[in-house]
Structure 1
Amino acid sequence: MNILYIAALSLGSIVELLILCRLMGYRQLSQMSMFDYVNSITIGSIAAEMATSLEDNFFYPMTAMIIYAAAVIFLSWWSSKSIYVRRIITGKPIILLNKDQLYEKNFRKAKIDLNEFLTQCRVSGYFDLSQLESAILEENGRISFLPKSEHRPATPKDLQLVPGKDALVANIIIDGHIMTQNLKVSGKDERWLMHQLSAHGVSDVRDVFLATCDLNNQFNVYLRSPSDQAPDIFT
């Protein structure tokens, strides 16, 4: 009976976690700041307590999760209204390198050593610090690099080119199912879709794994593979 009870509580805690994370926003799922990290591990710990509660007090951790999530939502709202509060909660960027000057004091403040900094430089493709104009430690713990103008990649503007505008791509068939809303937003209808599939030699929508169309009417279709095993070209 205890096993079934724990299973029910575990499922309940998962559902509550999903709801609370949705309310708190997608930042919980992306690169987290220190504030987001503390939120996640705290709510996760409370959820674990709820899932393994063998007594009849599971309502207490469930209530604690709701109160904690409400506090997080309030602090997030408050920090969006006040720069001072935002700096207290999430911190602010720290300049580690600027104009060929490494700021040792900021390294100590950020609790990051020089070897770790150089590793991050190499991971980002910069093996020579003289190629960098600035390096900034962001609130989420990642380092942003600004290369010097002579070392940054050339852009179409540098080459005096005028490329065509990029366009959003709509997924109009996914796993053999027509995404009606996406098709409508792209300004197309099923008649147009069937004509495009026919032009690509496709007679049945169920044979399509993915079909996309951008705002420039570029249509791409990917058929289901006859085998789930991808070819091994690296042996």
Structure 2
Amino acid sequence: MPEWVSILIRSFVSIAAVFVFTKMIGKRQLSQMTFFEYTVGIAIGDMAAIIADDVNGPMYKGLLAMSIYALFPILLGWLALKSKTIRNFVEGKARILIKNGKVMEDNLKKERMSSDELLEQLRLKNAFKVADVEFALMEPNGKVSVLLKSESQPITPKKMGWKVSPEQEPQAVILDGEIMDESLATVGLNRLWLQGELEMQGVALENVFLGQVDSNGELTLDLFDDKLQVPAPQTRPLAYATLKKCQADFELYALSTQNEKAKLLYETSAAQLQEILDGLTPHLMR
């Protein structure tokens, strides 16, 4: 058999073996692999290259070595599922880097992480002040998890006690200046509505690169010409402002009138409108 044919066959066999053994080890991403799994992967790759290149050596010896290297992390993974002690030994444990706004310098040294690296990891988590951090942990995979203090966390509808409707996937109703009728039908709209929205924003269809409709029925546009600015949809803010003005007018009328019946009517109307505003605020102002 010609040598080049032997190399070709060995290469295909080694690549197939790498594929099979990689599938056996698991589907973890590179950042989720343990150091041992990462090392085993490098060793298997090296052995696959040796099998393809060493035409004088028997192929089965290389495949046997590859199978042993592949089966060992599988066995360790199975044992780690059964025993927390083995799991901690193989995968490691999370280590506290910051607790209640205080940096744990000893733990930082154990992880061989400098203060600059710690600050960089915090900035990646939108934490620019150590004092704002309740906990920061170095995970076994090398990533830093950050929990901000309650007063430093962003305000969410849940914290405000607001009930909001679930978000749905925005539908692309315009692509490259073309109307997507199927997407329009998915959100219960039609071309007539779309044309009206484009006229309100003063935009021609052929100038739109991308148009999306969200779950609230608002159209956002991205134009081919990046220098042109399309105003953001103002339907909900305008509706909120109008209702708020009406509520304020009722309160003003209640204070200015001398008629007790009219005062009571205005006060009642203002209170009712305030209740409506409280219920609609999460939907109109998000």
TM-score for the superposition, normalised by structure 1: 0.66
Which residue of structure 2 lines up, in the alignment, with residue 190 of structure 1? none
Counterparts in 2 of 1:29 and 1:13: CA distance versus 1, 3 Å: farther
Q: Distance in 2 between matches of 1:163 and 1:5?
A: 66
Hey, what does 2:47 align to over in structure 1?
46
- The two structures, once aligned, show a CA RMSD in angstroms of 2.9
Partner residue, 2:102: 101
How far does residue 30 in structure 1 lie from its aligned partner after superposition? 5.3
- Counterpart residue number, 1:136: 137
Structure 2 Cα separation of the partners of residues 61 and 126 of structure 1: 50
Amino acid at match of 1:17: V
CA distance in 1, matches of 2:165, 2:37: 39
In structure 2, what is the equivalent of residue 163 of structure 1?
164
Residue deviations 1:125-152 (CA, integer Å, cap 9, x gap): 2221111111100000111011111111
Aligned counterpart, 2:115: 114
CA distance in 1, matches of 2:168, 2:184: 24
Deviation at 1:115, TM superposition (A): 1.5
The separation in 2 between residues aligned to 1:143 and 1:29, in whole angstroms, is: 16
Q: Note closer, same or farther for the CA distance 1:166–1:198 as it changes in structure 2 (3 Å cut).
A: closer
Counterpart mapping for 1:165-184 below 5 A: 165=166
SS in 2 for 1:43: helix
User: Do the aligned partners of 2:95 and 2:138 also contact (CA within 8 Å) in 1?
Assistant: yes
Cα distance, 1:199 vs structure 2:
5.3
The percentage of aligned residue pairs carrying the same residue is 33
Q: Distance in 1 between matches of 2:49 and 2:144?
A: 33
Which of these two proteins has the greater Rg computed from alpha carbons? 2
Higher relative contact order (CA 8 A, sep 6+): 1
> In the TM superposition, what is the alpha-carbon distance from 1:54 to its structure 2 partner?
2.5
- Measured at CA, do residues 164 and 104 of structure 1 come closer, stay the same or move farther in structure 2, by a change above 3 Å? same
Q: Distance in 1 between matches of 2:106 and 2:24?
A: 39
Q: Do 1:33 and 1:141's aligned partners in 2 also have CA atoms closer than 8 Å?
A: no
After the TM superposition, which of the residue ranges 92-101 and 10-19 deviates more from structure 2? Answer: 10-19
Matches within 5 A, 1:31-70: 31-70=32-71
More helix by share: 2
Residue 79 of structure 2 corresponds to: 78
Per the normalisation by structure 2, the TM-score is 0.55
- Give how far 1:232 is off: 9.1
How far the C-alpha of 1:197 sits from its partner, in A, is: 8.3
Once residues 110 and 30 of structure 2 are traced to their aligned partners in structure 1, the CA distance between those partners, rounded to angstroms, is 27
Secondary structure (helix, strand or coil) at the match of 1:136 reads strand
The residue that corresponds to 1:210 in the other structure is none
Tell me the alpha carbon deviations over residues 153-189 of structure 1, each in whole angstroms, 9 at most, x when there is no partner.
2222112222345689xxxxxxxxxxxxxxxxxxxxx
The 3 A distance-change label for structure 1 pair 27 and 167 is farther
Q: Distance in 2 between matches of 1:92 and 1:148?
A: 23
* Match of residue 11 from structure 1: 12
Any gaps of 5 or more consecutive residues in structure 2?
A: 170-181, 191-223, 228-286
Q: Distance in 2 between matches of 1:157 and 1:29?
A: 35
AA in 1 matched with 2:87: R
